[in-house]
Amino acid sequence: MSVVERIKDQLENNQVVLYMKGSPDFPQCGFSGQTVQILEACHAKYKHVNIFEDPELREALKEYSSWPTYPQLYIGGELVGGCDIVIGLYQKGELAKMLAEAGAVAE
């Protein structure tokens, strides 16, 4: 399976995917940590992918998404954006709606 096929597979099989530096329990950059905190505050069900564990994916995802930085949050297979965009959506109440519409909120 090519790296692009792996990315597509992850996005097709998970409603919410966070490509981040580190893990939710041990984020390895402040922006990834902030994004995790927001997802947790929204009670989001999501898959995380630690880009440090897969350098090939880390490089390919930049091209795939046309987004040069991490974290990258996807909902329903679509790129939402990075930390600043996620913060803005959260503050407006839009992120919670997007997650609920995707069926990605824990009961």
User: Which residue positions form the known binding site for [2Fe-2S] cluster?
Assistant: 29
Query: How many angstroms separate the Cα of 91 from the Cα of each of 23, 29, 56, 76, 96?
Result: 23, 21, 34, 21, 10
Q: How far apart are CA 52 and CA 75, in angstroms?
A: 21
The order of strands in the sheet holding 47-50 is: 47-50, 16-20, 72-75, 78-81
* Residues annotated in a binding site: 29
DSSP letter at 51 equals G
